[in-house]
Structure 1
Amino acid sequence: MIQSVQRAVQILRELARSGRLGVTELAERIEVAKPTAHSMLRTLESEGLVVQDHESSKYALGPGLVYLGNAYLDGHELRTRSLTWADGLATRVKEAVWVGVRAGDHVLVVHHVFRPEGAVQILEVGATIPWNTCALGKAIVAFGPEPVEADLLNGKLAVLTGASLTDPVTLGEQLADVRRTGYAIEDQECALGDAGIAAPVLDRSGEVAGAIGVVGAVERLLAKGTREAIAVAVRETARNLSRDLGAGRGYTRRAAG
């Protein structure tokens, strides 16, 4: 790896986590000399990837990242292929729909369809969620490579609410159940009062490309009379989207990443 590039990425990640940081703070966090950090920041600033506040002299992420992020979304095949299917699912179950991909130990939301006829809603495209706290993440990991699942279960498991699962054994059992049923459930593990039901989406190589799922109030999604109907709709949509991406008709778990 090229160290200077790696350090530049570390700077961007630190700013993403903390908002605004000064040169000294950033130098300490990425463990480089202050002049080196300053030089890297000036280079990133010239490319529009960071901006400096002239009053505080602190740096923040720049508008150039929005352009790169939009370019990523526009060129993402799963997102592009999911547009029609996600709209159809939202109309069918009358709930919001998310499409996500794994980004390390998080899930990145690449598409979001608002709940039809719902109240004011916030667009979640670009949001990242710890994989173990959302149905999308569980669906992706359950059908992904076994070594990846093992690494994630042995890694740090995030806690967002009192319902977040942090026991790797319990979570592993839940993932096995996801493989059996074909869909994953999240019950207030990400946000109190919210739930999710998601299923994996495969690509033409048979690997997991991401997941599509329904999110909404727990009393609507997981009610006895509606949970199974929503799960069926989610699985059917995921299978259709998988076929649209060139996948076969069945889910085949990959043994290695």
Structure 2
Amino acid sequence: MIQAIDRAAKVLELLQGSRHLGITDLATALQLPPSTVHGIVSSLREHGLVAKERGGQRYMLGPTLLKLSSVYLDSLDVRARSMRWTQELARRTGMAVRLGAPHFAEVLVIHHALRPDDSPQMLETGAALPAHASAMGKVLLAHDLGFQRAVFADPLTSLTGDTVTDPAVLAAALPAIAEHGYATEVDEAVLGESSLASPVADARGDIVAAVAVVYPTADGPASDAVLHALRDTARNISRELGASAWPPRIAPPDD
């Protein structure tokens, strides 16, 4: 690992979300001298990866990351091929639809189709969801043993009173998820929010993403018609990617 790149990546990670941190804060978190951190931050600023508060001494993520993230999303074949299917799923169910892919030990929302109504909504593309507390994450865990190993490597965080944090309990539920081709989540990440997800396969038969419908817990559980529409969507996106079978095979850790 190249030390300078590793340190720069850790600075960006510390600034993720809406965090604004000063040099002292970053130096403490990284256990590095402030002068070293100042040099890293200055280099990142030159490339627009970090920005300084107007009139302040704290730093935040810079606009270049937005450009890079857009390029990354546009390059994803699974996202491009899912657009019309996720939009149709939102129309059929009246629910918001997420498409997520594994990202280290989390699920990255790579596409978000809003509910087809006039209610205020926030676009979630780019958001990171906890794998153990989301339906998409459970689907990915059930079909990808390498992802499972990464997620279970660290203690699982409790987000609500319903979050499952025991890896053994979560692992015991995964075979049934792989067999039936869907997973559910009720109030495990956000109180009052539930989701239902199914896997998306590529031409090799491997899972590459998960697609989910999201709805208020008070409106649940999701009906058989919603589950049928969701599974149809996951199967259709998989066919677009060249999959000859669905659900995906279970990928071993070294795949």
Q: With structure 1 as the length reference, what TM-score do the two structures score?
A: 0.93
* Partner residue, 1:48: 48
CA-CA distance at 1:18 after TM superposition? 6.7
> Does the 8 Å CA contact 1:153/1:172 hold for their aligned counterparts?
no
Q: Is residue 2:242 matched to residue 1:246?
A: yes
* Partner residue, 1:100: 100
Q: Is residue 2:233 matched to residue 1:255?
A: no
> Does the 8 Å CA contact 2:102/2:147 hold for their aligned counterparts?
no
* Partner residue, 1:130: 130
TM-align CA RMSD: 1.6
How many corresponding residue pairs?
253
> Does the 8 Å CA contact 1:197/1:230 hold for their aligned counterparts?
no
Q: Which residues in structure 2 correspond to 1:127-166 (within 5 Å)?
A: 127-144=127-144, 146-166=145-165
* Partner residue, 2:183: 184
CA-CA distance at 1:54 after TM superposition? 4.9
Q: Deviations over 1:33-91 (max 9, x none)?
A: 22211111111101111111253311111111111111111111111111001011111
* Partner residue, 2:11: 11
* Partner residue, 1:231: 227
Q: Deviations over 1:104-124 (max 9, x none)?
A: 111111111111125111111
Q: With structure 2 as the length reference, what TM-score do the two structures score?
A: 0.94
CA-CA distance at 1:29 after TM superposition? 1.6
* Partner residue, 2:218: 219
CA distance in structure 2 between the partners assigned to 1:165 and 1:142 by the alignment: 15
The one-letter code matched in structure 1 to 2:36 is T
Q: Residue 152 of structure 1 aligns to a residue in which SS? A: helix
Query: How high is the sequence identity, in percent, across the aligned residues?
Result: 36
Q: Residue 198 of structure 2 aligns to a residue in which SS? A: strand
CA distance in structure 2 between the partners assigned to 1:157 and 1:179 by the alignment: 21
CA-CA distance at 1:137 after TM superposition? 0.6
CA distance in structure 1 between the partners assigned to 2:46 and 2:177 by the alignment: 47
* Partner residue, 1:61: 61
CA-CA distance at 1:154 after TM superposition? 4.6
Q: Is residue 2:87 matched to residue 1:90?
A: no
**Large movers: runs of 4+ above 3 Å:** none
Q: Deviations over 1:207-253 (max 9, x none)?
A: 21110010011233415xx1x22112111111110111111213211
CA distance in structure 2 between the partners assigned to 1:80 and 1:221 by the alignment: 30
CA-CA distance at 1:139 after TM superposition? 0.8
Q: Residue 24 of structure 1 aligns to a residue in which SS? A: helix
The one-letter code matched in structure 2 to 1:232 is H
